[in-house]
């Protein structure tokens, strides 16, 4: 199926991430069929589309998480601040500090809240106790969970509710000060109140971070994202301001999906 994608706006400020003609195969199954997409700093972009269209696969290309899957072949370019992240010799550990990832299921380590948040920091250079304490408080405040956990930082993170665990996982990513935060359906395992706390937090975070979010929740995408990319069968069908995608999409496939005719 040949679907022509809407050209992203390349005239404004330079993108923080620029992907060109990205193809990805799982064995012989071509899951991404030439994706051109750019992401601007301090925006929230939602990736939407029916199950199996390639949203999560594409998200994982942005911090090389697919490299861990056997039988994967990737072609094309993914540039972070102008540099190809797939260039030979590039270090994926430092890449993943710059481009952090939050998953669908909260996945805290079986450690204390404090040790979860400082995990990435302790992998890098030495920090004093004061620096770590400050980083923990800042990250937990940014993740809007400080007030709930400040008196039990040394208790196991596994004792928290699902919504609190997810916010601690977000704090763990923020503590290493990434430029970009990728989130793969971060609220789909959570109740409506926890989901709404995370949505408000993401909107507050965009002043400091660029956020790229996979979601099946159309109202979530329309509530919090600045731009929306609609994927279908491994193609990028349309990419535009969220308002345009939801109120005045240019492609029939987008309109059919948004209005619930399939997916």
Ligand X SMILES: Nc1ncnc2c1ncn2[C@@H]1O[C@H](COP(=O)(O)OP(=O)(O)OP(=O)(O)O)[C@@H](O)[C@H]1O
- Applying CB under 6 A, does 186 fall inside the site for ligand X? no
Instruction: Report the residue from 52, 76, 162, 263 that binds ligand X according to the rule CB under 6 A.
Output: 52
- Applying CB under 6 A, does 119 fall inside the site for ligand X? no
Which of 71, 192 has the CB closer to ligand X? 71
Token pair belonging to 47:
């990736």
- Applying CB under 6 A, does 55 fall inside the site for ligand X? yes
Contact 208, 24 (CB under 8 A): no
Pairing relation of β-strands 44-48 and 210-214?
parallel
Stretch in the footprint of ligand X (CB under 6 A) among 9-17, 55-63, 142-150, 248-256? 55-63
Alpha helix stretches (DSSP H) within 62-160: 92-98, 113-123, 129-142, 146-149
Instruction: Report the residue from 57, 116, 142, 242 that binds ligand X according to the rule CB under 6 A.
Output: 57
Stretch in the footprint of ligand X (CB under 6 A) among 54-62, 148-156, 171-179, 253-261? 54-62
Query: How far is Cα 91 from Cα 162, in angstroms, rounded to an integer?
Result: 32
Contact 31, 75 (CB under 8 A): no
Which residue is listed with tokens 């890449």? 95
Residue 180 vs residues 4, 134, 151: alpha-carbon distances, Å: 27, 21, 30
Distance of closest approach, residue 97 Cβ to ligand X, in angstroms: 24
Token pair belonging to 66:
């697919």
Which of 50, 119 has the CB closer to ligand X? 50
Instruction: Report the residue from 4, 69, 123, 124 that binds ligand X according to the rule CB under 6 A.
Output: 69
Token pair belonging to 203:
């909107």
Residue 30 vs residues 10, 22, 71: alpha-carbon distances, Å: 27, 11, 12
Instruction: Report the residue from 11, 28, 51, 128 that binds ligand X according to the rule CB under 6 A.
Output: 51
- Applying CB under 6 A, does 53 fall inside the site for ligand X? yes
Distance of closest approach, residue 71 Cβ to ligand X, in angstroms: 7
Distance of closest approach, residue 22 Cβ to ligand X, in angstroms: 12
Q: Between residue 6 and residue 45, which ones bind ligand X under the rule CB under 6 A?
A: 26, 29, 31
Q: Which residues pair with 238 in a beta bridge?
A: 230
Which of 55, 79 has the CB closer to ligand X? 55
Q: Which residues bind ligand X (CB under 6 A)?
A: 26, 29, 31, 49, 51-57, 69
């Amino acid at each position: 199926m040949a679907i022509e994608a809407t050209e992203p706006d390349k005239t404004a400020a330079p993108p923080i991430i620029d992907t060109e003609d990205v193809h990805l195969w799982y064995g012989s199954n071509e899951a991404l069929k030439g994706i051109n997409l750019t992401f601007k700093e301090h925006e929230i972009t939602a990736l939407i589309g029916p199950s199996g269209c390639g949203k999560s696969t594409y998200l994982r290309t942005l911090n090389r998480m697919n490299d861990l899957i056997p039988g994967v072949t990737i072609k094309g370019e993914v540039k972070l601040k102008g540099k190809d992240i797939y260039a030979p010799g590039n270090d994926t550990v430092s890449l993943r500090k710059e481009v952090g990832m939050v998953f669908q299921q909260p996945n805290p380590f079986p450690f204390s809240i404090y040790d979860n948040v400082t995990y990435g920091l302790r992998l890098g250079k030495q920090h004093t106790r004061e620096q770590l304490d400050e980083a923990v408080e800042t990250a937990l405040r940014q993740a809007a969970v400080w007030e709930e956990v400040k008196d039990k930082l040394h208790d196991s993170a596994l004792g928290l509710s699902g919504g609190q665990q997810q916010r601690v996982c977000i704090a763990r990513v923020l503590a290493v000060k990434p430029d970009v935060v990728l989130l793969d359906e971060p609220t789909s395992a959570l109740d409506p109140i926890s989901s709404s706390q995370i949505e408000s937090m993401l909107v507050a975070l965009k002043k400091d971070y660029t956020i790229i979010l996979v979601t099946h929740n159309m109202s979530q995408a329309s509530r919090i994202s600045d731009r929306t990319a609609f994927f279908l069968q491994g193609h990028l069908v349309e990419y535009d301001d969220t308002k345009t995608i939801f109120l005045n999409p240019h492609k029939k496939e987008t309109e059919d999906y948004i209005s619930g005719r399939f997916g």
